[in-house]
Amino acid sequence: MSYLHVVAQQKQDITAIGKSLYEKKNYKAALTVYNEAVADNKKDTNAYFGRGLTNLVLHNYDDAIGDFKKVIKLNPKDAEAYLHKGAAYAATEEYKKAIKEYDNAIAIEPAYVDAYNFRGNAKYASADTNGAIKDYDMAIKADSEYADAYFNRGTIHELRKEYAPAINDLTIAIALNPADADAYFNRAFAQDALHDYRGAIGDYNVVIRLDSTFIEAYYNRGIDKEKLGVYYLAILDFGALLRIDSTDAEAYLAMGIAKDSLKYHMSAIIDYTTAIRINPDLAEAYYDRAESNIMLGRKDQVCADLNMAYSLKLSKALKALNDNKCSISKPDTDNHHKSRILQFLSGWDIE
């Protein structure tokens, strides 16, 4: 074997080591090895590509874009390099540039399902939901078992309040990937919107079985149980959530409401008070604490709580203030607060 052949073999081994380290998720070590590989051979497309993937995972997006540009310069027909270059642009919210890269990938490989899926994600992020759905349609046409496209299309249908097609897509996604907790959660959310609380609870059960720390599933399942009048079981769900995250004011509020429904008003007041301590801008907690105190005949705090609820723009508090003959304090027009929206949105995984 000649000396030159030995050197070439060593260089190839360096790139292979980088790939092995990447696959083992030892990204920093992989980056070091890839740096050595490209330093040794400026035309090693595998080394540039591997380093680009590594930089992508490490959130070094500009470096990743540079690496994929090197690959494309050396091999303009490398569709995968365009795909990941697009992913790097998407990660920095440069969606127009990302879409252009996905266009390039599709021009090279017209049946490139990942490129259609990623382009759909970029279009969705650009508020082009119609374009996104068309791309997911194309991905599914190219591969009828491409679970991510069904999931993503179903998620957009759900956001557009098209619940029946959302459930249909998410059901197919679940059939293709039965371990996808997010798909069960999103389907449950759509079932909630259609008032199919028992169906939703069944899906939340699976979510929690797959991921016992999925706090939104505990919360939503508890709310559905409240709607079905199964208050004791709802309390158990909120309690399970609070064992995972003891700072969740909404969970304390919901648990207080369930306890009020069981006429455990004093215990409910404790929950509302805890919710207020965590989030002083939670208007419903003041209102519900006032209602509990009314039920207990303790009217000393009622007016103060109703005024706080009213100052936080809770409109129904005004009627309660009048009903309870409370003097009305001037609302604080400078008070701004944000209500929590319990709606799951899947992130786009670029790995």
> Residue 17: how many CA atoms within 13 Å on its side-chain side?
15
Amino acid at 23: E
Q: Which amino acid is at 167?
A: I
**Do residues 129 and 156 make contact, with C-beta atoms less than 8 angstroms apart?**
yes
Rounded distance, CA 280 to CA 259, Å?
Answer: 21
**Tokens 């706080």 belong to which residue?**
308
The residue to which tokens 């936080």 are assigned: 312
Note whether 212 and 205 are within 8 A (CB).
no
Tokens of 111: 């049946």
Answer for the pair 83, 102: CB distance below 8 angstroms, yes or no: yes
pLDDT at res. 8:
46
First to last CA, the chain: 39
Q: How far is CA 24 from CA 19, 21, 30, 54, 154, in A?
A: 9, 5, 9, 12, 33
CB 191 within 8 A of CB 154: no
Handedness of CA 281, 287, 292, 294 (dihedral sign): positive
In the predicted model, residues of the chain with pLDDT beneath 70 are 1-12, 330-351
The pLDDT score that the predictor gives to residue 317 is 95
The token duo for 294 is 């009314």
Residues found in the chain? 351
Block residue for tokens 């279009």: 123
- 133 and 120 in contact (C-beta within 8 Å)? yes
- Model pLDDT, residue 298: 84
* Cα angle, residue 312 at apex, residues 309 and 318 outer, rounded to 5°: 50
**pLDDT at site 256:** 98
CA distance 226 to 230: 6
